A and B are shown apart, each in its own frame.
Chain A
């Protein structure tokens, strides 16, 4: 290597290329301890807030009020009393609100999925006048903030006598979900090769059997992705529930937790346990269905 002048004009040979890239990656490795350190610092910063509240939810009420949760490690005291307290009848009654959350969420996922599948199929595989304009109009409705609809919707619900029933939430969440659901499912259905549809048609299948026998099995990933997104959206929603379901008989956990934070903002033994009860479901969904979850969340992130 002593003869290798810096101004050499000979093309770099293969072995030299290898050396160079090895040198380059060695250089990158030099910076990597710092990169790892930065990544660990960020990860710790991002985890500590949740971790602190999780630890607190298992500490006795008095301990939470008197000392920081970090003292748990020098003086561990563990109790399930806080979780018992939030489920206590006549107290926070979180079990009722948990049920409400479920009752609100399940139809709010199923209804828009059914209706959007029908509409998406019509847009993808049928011809009718005004198709493109209608599709663009529905697509554009995605950007409408929910706030714009809430006051007149409440007036409508009161007029229809649906005020203070689950129907207000089922109908609202289903309606708000339709533009995104139709858009996503349409994109997916459009990708199905038309030869499949043609073959089924030649076999004498009508639109109904094409939809159920050919498309539905292929649609499962898209339905799952949107279903999970919508499930979390509804489960985690506060604004729509607070507007239409203020009364404790039908309001979901988010409303109860938010109220608790406003009225008993220092009752950390209740707030911590309550927060984790409400977190359990979405986190479980996240851990079990991470792949679909990320896909759905990314697709639906503009909603609301």
Chain B
């Protein structure tokens, strides 16, 4: 039951065994709770929270603390080396490229995805076929980053510029149609990083659109009508009515996308594997921890990632507080 399942029936059996095991655990807890019921909430609550606290403690809290500790050790985790891993992240040329690329990602993606999502939400608001139009933009959100990367890698495909060779990637074909020469899009740095960012924007714009469209729908009609009576034009309507009303939603969307972007791994791993100067922190973490086996440096990169998430979360919470006040 706790071994590697290799045949189809093994796998399915093991799956049901796992579900049953947890169902049985819940059953035992409920049974025990019904025995002590009527006495005190305290005992029942302890039983209900036991599996959660156990799993979060062992599976999240302990590994988190352990990673911080390990980030002060060398590649094999046997010698304490102080802050050396962190020094490397902020001075080593290769690591600086990683940081630079991550900065590109986090600075570009939230603004671009939110801008496009907002524009589209306004354009299709109350339009005919609104829900169909929204579904088209939203669909990329439902597929895996891996599938999205394959889709875009095909868009960026390059064929050498020779007679009898046709481009099969649409982007290079458009370049050729416009009279240009085909480009090795995923190899040219720093262009390639921005082309990977396009994939993230393509995925996240649907998320931004959905949240912002809901926020726009929630603006009271009388405010819009009053502004209209004052002769406010479409641009003024956007600038002085829509935007202030949906500001909290915009903040939430931008910070959410920023956090997701900071942790982007799948796209880089699938499209370039971090080569050609496209590496980012989350991918470098994976390479160092599990490919190069420098677990100390990998841990330090994970900690840097965590530290970078915190200010975004704090900003988000402060903005939410302000809008509630």
The answer to whether B18 touches A298 (Cβ under 8 A) is no
Q: Which A232-272 residues have a C-beta within 8 angstroms of B?
A: 232, 235-239, 242-243, 247, 249-250, 254, 257-258, 261-262, 265, 268, 271-272
Digitize B5-25: 1 where CB-to-A-CB distance is under 8 Å, 0 elsewhere: 110100110110011001100
* Majority-rule SS of A interface residues: helix
A91 to B211, CA, bound (A): 42
A110 touches which of B19, B123, B151 (Cβ 8 Å): B19
B120 vs chain A, min Cβ distance (A)? 5
The answer to whether B153 touches A43 (Cβ under 8 A) is no
The answer to whether B228 touches A24 (Cβ under 8 A) is yes
Which stretch in B83-91, B189-197, B240-248, B259-267 binds the other chain? B259-267
Task: Evaluate whether A147 and B282 lie within 8 angstroms (CB atoms) in the complex, with A115-B55, A178-B56 already known.
Answer: yes
The answer to whether B145 touches A206 (Cβ under 8 A) is no
The answer to whether A271 touches B154 (Cβ under 8 A) is yes
Task: Evaluate whether A149 and B67 lie within 8 angstroms (CB atoms) in the complex, with A67-B166, A298-B211 already known.
Answer: yes
Residues in chain A within 8 A of chain B (CB atoms): 17, 20-21, 24, 27-28, 31, 35-36, 38-39, 42-43, 46-50, 52-53, 56, 64-70, 96, 99-100, 103, 106-107, 110-111, 114-116, 118-119, 121-122, 126-129, 131, 134, 138, 141, 143-154, 156, 161-162, 164-167, 170-172, 174-176, 178-179, 182, 206-208, 232, 235-239, 242-243, 247, 249-250, 254, 257-258, 261-262, 265, 268, 271-272, 274-275, 278-279, 282-283, 285-286, 290, 293-294, 297-298, 301-302, 304
Residues in chain B within 8 A of chain A (CB atoms): 2-6, 8, 11-12, 14-15, 18-19, 22-23, 26, 29-30, 33-34, 37-38, 41-42, 44-46, 48-49, 51-53, 55-56, 58-64, 66-67, 70, 116, 119-120, 123-124, 127, 133, 135-147, 149-155, 157, 166-170, 173, 202, 205, 207, 210-211, 225, 228-229, 231, 233-234, 256, 259-260, 262-263, 265-266, 269-271, 273, 282, 285-286, 289-290, 295, 298-299, 301-303, 305-306, 309-310, 313
